[in-house]
Structure 1
Amino acid sequence: MKRVKRKGKNVVLSLILLVLGFMISYSYQFTKNETKGGGSDQQWKQEYRYRQMLIDQEERNRKLQRELFAKQEKVRKTEEGLAKKEQDLAKIVDDVKKYRMYTGKVGVKGKGIEVTLSDASYIPSEENVNHYIVHEGHVFKVINELLVSGASAIEINGQRISKNSYIMCNGPVITVDGNQFPAPFVISATGDPDVLDTALNLAGGVKDQLVKDNIVVKMAKKSEIVMTPLINAREQQTFSK
């Protein structure tokens, strides 16, 4: 009897211990799940915060990129404007140089052509001598053709001419800006030798007209022609002193 009682007590005790173990195990598992769930929520919040920070940073980067592109475009336009100004300035400088050459204010050196006009070597006794000598009209024909063909500077017998120059014929001599020169008259011009030579030698052009007027014409292309600056009358007097 005592043995049965003791056995019954052991069963009850075992049942109690089993229930208690189950409760402890359930409580542990529940606590573990709660802790784990709380960690996941915290991690998710942290990831969300980092993701939001990354989005904000990317937006700032895009904004800065747009500002950078705008400034680069502004710099590009400014550089284009400066380049255009430099081109305009360079063109002005080139124009000034050309104008100075045309007016004879600066010395000139370059390729060109040399045209020599001489009186006829033979004049029939019954003919008028004026029909066989070089006149200012002949010189003007050559000069005008050279200018039209792109000559940058012209001189006659070493005398630079400008837009204000005057040429007069006085018998066998020609006066250029107050200076007299006898024949032959050597007209030198700087420019493209081939272009100038072709212009003067056109059929029915200047050379043919001069030859028809009994003028002896010689032409020579030059690899280098040097011209000194033009000195006006007042400067010439000062220079002479």
Structure 2
Amino acid sequence: MKKKTKGKYAVLSLVSIVVGFILAFSYNLANKEKQEHPKLTDRQYERENQLRRELISQQEQNQSLQKELHLKQEKVRKIEKELSKEKQVFFDLAEDAEKYRMYLGKVKVQGKGIQVKLEDGAYMPEEENVNHYIVHEHHVFKVVNELYIAGASAVAVNGQRISYDSYIVCNGPVITVDGVQYPAPFQISAIGDPEILAAALNMTGGVKDQLVNDHIIFTLEKKDRIVLEPILGENT
């Protein structure tokens, strides 16, 4: 009987020790958590809320500024596009102005092109009227007009630049270009694509065939470089 009582006390003692150990461990764990995460005072809690509100406000302000930045960037892009268009317009205007100066003969020009020589035909005893085989102003006009139609940027007759108001008059064996007389042969120079200009004059039934039918000697030569001086005595 005494042995059973002693055994019972031993078990109770062991249980008490285990329970005590668990309680002590729980207490220490709770204290540790309190130390790691101490309870905030009212003042600290209010400060934390204030900082949180300020952070949210700052984030909202940043988003608002980003939206404003995007709008301004879009405006800048639109302005840049408009300026780019204006730049292209000014460039086109300058390019057109230069083309007009070339057409009016205000500036010296050079480039590839062709040279056409028109000479009086050989003497024809059976032909009583010599006008039937000499070069006239309408022959020169045909060549000049066809060259401009084919895209020539500048044309000259015997070195004399042709402009929008030029006049060519035949006076016997010579022709007068803007008041300056030139004897035959007449050399017409044009700046432009040599292949296109030559093809325009040489087409079947075109200017060359018409002049040859009038007994005019027609010679065409392609040039890699032609230089045409500006019209003298004109206001630039």
Q: TM-score range by the shorter chain?
A: 0.7 to 0.9
The verdict on how the C-alpha distance between 1:201 and 1:126 changes in structure 2, with shifts beyond 3 A counting, is closer
Equivalent residues in 2 for 1:46-65, closer than 5 Å: 48-65=49-66
- How far apart are residue 164 of structure 1 and its match? 1.3
Equivalent residues in 2 for 1:202-221, closer than 5 Å: 202-221=203-222
- How far apart are residue 74 of structure 1 and its match? 1.4
**Identity over the aligned pairs, expressed in percent?**
57
Number of aligned pairs? 207
Aligned to 1:76: 77
CA distance in 1, matches of 2:125, 2:44: 123
- How far apart are residue 161 of structure 1 and its match? 1.3
- How far apart are residue 186 of structure 1 and its match? 0.2
Aligned to 1:184: 185
Aligned to 1:194: 195
Aligned to 1:223: 224
- How far apart are residue 51 of structure 1 and its match? 4.0
CA distance in 2, matches of 1:185, 1:202: 21
- How far apart are residue 227 of structure 1 and its match? 1.0
- How far apart are residue 133 of structure 1 and its match? 0.8
- How far apart are residue 114 of structure 1 and its match? 0.6
- How far apart are residue 213 of structure 1 and its match? 1.2
Aligned to 2:153: 152
CA distance in 2, matches of 1:100, 1:126: 45
SS state at 1:230 partner: coil
The verdict on how the C-alpha distance between 1:145 and 1:34 changes in structure 2, with shifts beyond 3 A counting, is closer
CA distance in 2, matches of 1:60, 1:86: 38
Q: Which runs of 5+ in 1 are unaligned?
A: 1-27, 236-241
Q: Deviations over 1:150-193 (max 9, x none)?
A: 11111100111111111001111111111111111000011111
The verdict on how the C-alpha distance between 1:38 and 1:145 changes in structure 2, with shifts beyond 3 A counting, is same
The verdict on how the C-alpha distance between 1:34 and 1:160 changes in structure 2, with shifts beyond 3 A counting, is closer
CA distance in 2, matches of 1:38, 1:106: 92
Aligned to 1:121: 122
* TM-score for the superposition, normalised by structure 2: 0.78
SS state at 1:81 partner: helix
CA distance in 1, matches of 2:34, 2:208: 115
Equivalent residues in 2 for 1:128-147, closer than 5 Å: 128-147=129-148
Aligned to 1:110: 111
Aligned to 1:8: none
- How far apart are residue 55 of structure 1 and its match? 2.5
SS state at 1:188 partner: strand
SS state at 1:39 partner: coil
- How far apart are residue 44 of structure 1 and its match? 6.5
Mean Cα deviation higher: 92-101 or 119-128: 119-128
